[in-house]
Chains A and B, each alone.
Chain A
Amino acid sequence: MNQVKVTINGKEYSAPEGESILQTAIDNGIDIPHFCYHEDLPIGSSCRTCLVEDVKTGRVVTSCSIKAEEGVAILTDTPKVKELRLKNLELLLAGHQKNCPRCKKGTYCRVAEDIGKYGVSTVKYWRPEIQEKLHLMSQAALLDPQLCIACNKCVEICDKIGIGFLELHGKNIQTHATWTRKPEIDCIYCGQCTVHCPVGSAREQNQIEDVEKALSDKDKIVIAQMAPSVHASIGEEFGLPVGTDMTGRAYTAFRKLGFDHVFDVNMGADITTIVEAAELVERIKENKNLPMFTSCCPAWVKFLEFYHPEMLDHLTTSRSPQMHSGAAYKTWWAKKEGIDPRKIVVVSFMPCTSKKYEARHEKMKIDGMWPVDHVLTTREFGALLKKHNIDLPNLEPSEVELPGTYSGAAAIYGASGGVMESALRTAYFDLTGKELEKVEFEKVRGMEGIKRSEIEVNGLTIKVAVVSTAANAEKIIQEIKQDPHAYDYVEVMACPGGCIGGGGQPIPTTLKIVAKRTESLYRVDSQMKLRKAHLNPVVRDFFDNYIAKLSVSEREKILNTSYSRKKKFE
């Protein structure tokens, strides 16, 4: 794209022609408050807080709607701009602190930052009660109309990913986002609305207090386990550059918070890879229920269970990483350590809201126990640390405990294509008995919503597709209906870019940011010696010395799951 010179506060910047000048400001670290602007979504120009002065006309206008052209010049801090901006901020955020549970409790809220920075009063103007009930998206997320500012971002992202569950209802001051009453459309709990909501009106169902309660219970053995995407993104909650790997510091933080043990969801990912690769090899050999679909994304599973129950046989029966590791702690590890598994509380730190929903599936219970007791998103992790005054960036890194040992194959689970790549590394061994030399599958990497590739293994061609978002999943499903042999193995993640772009990730999450976080995941993998799940010694021990000795049904209870048609809100 053509670069042009624009001037902001007297200083020249280079910007792609036609880009919103607000984006130019954001990219150059120039502060302009904004609530309804998100670089991946349509420009609505409705919050009217990104006001600037257009130097040429002397008029105060919204910066989001000014396009970068040669010679465009704006001022972001004139007295008139400040006055009007404050007025609109006060109109927009009227009643926020009164209605926001985080602000009320004094825990971290991003809006509170702007309120402080711009000296906004949230009581100067009134806000009426919105005539709409709070809506729970299963156990994953919620929509709180009393905080909604009608910016429409949740509606737009939900449309963009292919669901269209959300709509703006009402007019005038009663305008708010809510769920569609159409019976044929249901939420998949991905939480993309929560990561695109600027004011916490769409947000995760908070479990911070449940975790604090467990931590203060002397009787409980509380385990922290963190997903790879959280390693790569929690730094953003503390203002660190995108893609900073926080693994070691996060482990220290868990210990400071009082967790008894620090393990890692990545270990579970290695279990998943082994189970899933074995099932793939079996299905390919028997030519049964192909293509096989991945199932570690609960939002994708819900999508299939609601929209395409006729395709459920394609899902791998393998459980997901957090379920595998959680179950491993409460069975294999508890037995090894001689611990009563009922005393164990497993807390997952996930980039995702649908993992909260997954953790509450009755069918996941093992001997009446949840494999995972609580799930916190990356954002909640940040809030928890801030609440306990733990300054993550300045902690000394520490190591994960032995049962948290993982491979590089697990570390890339967070990226779209990562599950596929990990499974292929192991499936290659399962099919050939030989170790793969070059472990990178470049064609399933990257940010495209649909990636296709063919992999040769001993003269056998495995046709694969890697998909992110429901909109793209729908395309692949239609392709498969046209040609049932189009693929052998399909990985689907509900969020753009995979879990690394998940609904529980730091705000803002943009495609550019997701791409940077993704690089961090692949960097971690490339720097590891252990890069294949089936070579993980801890996981080998779990399979060889524990799983192998169980009956088939006991084994399946830990490793496998099943699926069923779902009704709206189920």
Chain B
Amino acid sequence: MENNIVDKIEKAGLTGRGGAGYLTAKKWREVAAAPGDKKYVVVNASEGETGLFKDIYILKNYTDALFKGVVLALDHLRAKDAYFNLNKNYYREVGKKLEAAILPYNDKGYNIKIFVEEPSYIGGEETALLNAIEGKRTEPRSKPPYPSMSGLYARPTLINNVETLYNVACVEDGSYEKKRFYCITGPKGRKSVHHLPDDWDIEKILKETGNYPNYEFFVQIGGGASGTVCDQDQIKGKLATGAGAIEVFDKKKIDPRKLILRWLEFYQKESCGKCTPCRAGTYQLYEMVKASRDIPWPQMFEVLETMEITSFCALGRSVMEPIRSYYSNVLKLS
């Protein structure tokens, strides 16, 4: 029976909902196959990006299903120990509820704990969160070894996003309908979460949820500041990526320099400081845009390219994406 759940996950085509989109069944098999007498499950509820608020939505509204997913993972790995890597702001909202939900499981012999995480962008990176739980600096580790081989306390560790584990529970009880949670920041900054088919394009999602603007607009898709920017005419046939965030921008009202400065302010604040290109690069970018009246594109792209190719982890490497896509898709500068 134990392989059954992974086969089901594979058949359902589940991919990770934290942003990277790794095949869930593959990850589960890797951790199961990794040698080790002790294994861990970590529920990633860090959600440190702006524009993402679906994990808290699930934590609030689908607690039971989420726990079912966690226990399925533990049982599959013959493990007892699980950690919720929980954003501190979320802890304030759902901490009590989660603690109450944990009790009956721990009475049955599981050892599920909540790790209250200082909210940060890097805190969601899976090796950085392992460091944080271990009491070390919240910064990414070199890979390999991957967490599936050597994760928390150097044990094989399954790290899944909240939504992923929720989906696992749905797969198990047959209710999975190939849907995903979309975090929409619509016109006038209206925020809402929608559970909709994963093959709807952005245009349809915006229309069906009443978020399609009646003005010229562009969108950012994926996960907040790191998402790809698409113009209005590019969203037909375009699927949501990453962690499923869609943010709508009013093309006439947005000052490109201010928008870029907003992204860069976020990045320069959130860089963990480990590697040179991200630590110093995000700071340079922010300062150079702040200091000039026009956007210094060539100087920016010089730094961005270095960051994209040479940063230690995906966070530094992804700063290029929103700026380059905004530059070419919306501003049509290349």
Contacts and interface: CB of A to CB of B under 8 A. Distances in A.
Interface of A: 43-49, 51, 59-60, 62, 65, 84, 87-88, 91-92, 94, 125-128, 149-150, 168, 170-175
B273 A173 contact: yes
B63 interface: no
Nearest to B274: A46
B279 interface: yes
Contact of B276 (A43, A47, A126, A171): A47
Interface stretch (B85-93, B207-215, B303-311): B303-311
B306 A46 contact: no
Contacts of B282: 172-173
Contacts of A171: 120, 138, 270-273
B275 interface: yes
B283 interface: yes
A562 to B, nearest CB: 40
Contact of B277 (A44, A91, A173): A91
Interface of B: 120, 137-138, 142, 268-277, 279-284, 287, 302-303, 305-306, 309-312
B284 A91 contact: yes
Q: Which 6 A-B pairs have the closest CB atoms?
A: A175-B273, A91-B280, A173-B283, A87-B306, A172-B271, A92-B276
A45 B272 CA distance: 14
A172 B310 contact: no
Given A47-B276, A150-B274, 15 more contacts: A46-B274, A48-B275, A48-B277, A48-B312, A59-B309, A60-B309, A60-B310, A84-B305, A84-B309, A87-B303, A91-B284, A171-B138, A171-B271, A172-B273, A173-B271
Contact of A150 (B269, B273, B287): B273
Residue among B282, B283, B287, B302 facing the most chain A CB atoms (10 A cut-off): B283
Contacts of A65: 142
B310 A51 contact: yes
Contact of A45 (B142, B268, B270, B303): B142
Contacts of A170: 273
A236 B19 CA distance: 51
Contacts of A174: 273
Contact of A175 (B277, B279, B302, B306): B279
Given A48-B310, A51-B310, A168-B137, A126 B273 contact: no
Contacts of B275: 45-48
Contacts of B311: 48
B281 A91 contact: yes
Contacts of B274: 44, 46, 150, 175
Contact of A48 (B276, B283, B305): B276
B271 A88 contact: no
B142 A126 contact: no
Contact of A46 (B276, B284, B302): B276
Nearest to B272: A171
Contacts of B272: 171-172, 175
Contacts of B303: 87, 91
Nearest to A155: B137
Contact of A88 (B138, B142, B276): B276
Given A46-B276, A150-B279, A84 B271 contact: no
Nearest to A167: B137
Contacts of A172: 268-273, 279, 282-283
A88 B273 contact: no
B120 to A, nearest CB: 8
A88 B277 CA distance: 6
A20 to B, nearest CB: 11
A43 B137 CA distance: 16
Contacts of B302: 87
12 contacts: A45-B275, A47-B275, A62-B310, A91-B281, A91-B303, A94-B284, A126-B283, A126-B287, A170-B273, A171-B270, A172-B272, A175-B279
A59 B310 CA distance: 10
Contacts of B306: 84, 87-88, 91
A49 B276 contact: yes
Contacts of B310: 48, 51, 60, 62, 84, 88
Nearest to B291: A126
B284 A126 contact: yes
B268 A43 contact: no
Contacts of B281: 91
A126 B279 CA distance: 12
Contacts of A149: 276
A168 B309 CA distance: 25
Nearest to A125: B284
Which of B271, B275, B276, B309 lies at the interface centre, i.e. has the most chain A CB atoms within 10 A of its CB? B276
Contacts of B280: 91-92, 94, 125, 127, 173
B309 A46 contact: no
A92 B278 CA distance: 10
Nearest to B306: A87
A174 B272 CA distance: 10
B163 to A, nearest CB: 27
Nearest to A80: B309
A128 B283 CA distance: 9
B310 to A, nearest CB: 5
Nearest to B311: A48
B160 to A, nearest CB: 26
A115 B138 CA distance: 31
Most buried by B among A49, A125, A149, A173: A173
A392 B269 CA distance: 49
A5 to B, nearest CB: 23
Contacts of B271: 171-173
A170 B270 CA distance: 11
Contacts of B305: 84
A126 B137 CA distance: 25
A18 to B, nearest CB: 12
Contacts of A168: 137, 273
A87 B309 CA distance: 11
B231 to A, nearest CB: 31
Nearest to B138: A171
Contacts of A128: 283
A405 B310 CA distance: 56
A56 B150 CA distance: 27
Q: Which of B142, B270, B273, B305 has the most CB of A within 10 A?
A: B273
Contacts of A173: 268, 271, 273, 279-280, 282-283
B277 A43 contact: no
A43 B273 CA distance: 16
B260 to A, nearest CB: 18
A211 B4 CA distance: 78
Nearest to B269: A172
A438 to B, nearest CB: 48
Nearest to B143: A65
Nearest to A67: B144
B292 to A, nearest CB: 13
Q: Which of B269, B280, B303 has the most CB of A within 10 A?
A: B280
Contacts of B273: 150, 168, 170-175
A51 B309 CA distance: 10
A46 B312 contact: yes
Nearest to A151: B276
A218 to B, nearest CB: 50
Contacts of B276: 46-49, 88, 91-92, 149
Nearest to B316: A48
B276 to A, nearest CB: 5
A149 B274 CA distance: 9
A175 B122 CA distance: 14
Contacts of A125: 280, 284
A304 B263 CA distance: 52
A173 B276 CA distance: 9
Contacts of B283: 126, 128, 172-173
Contacts of A62: 310
B68 to A, nearest CB: 36
Contacts of A48: 275-277, 310-312
A129 to B, nearest CB: 12
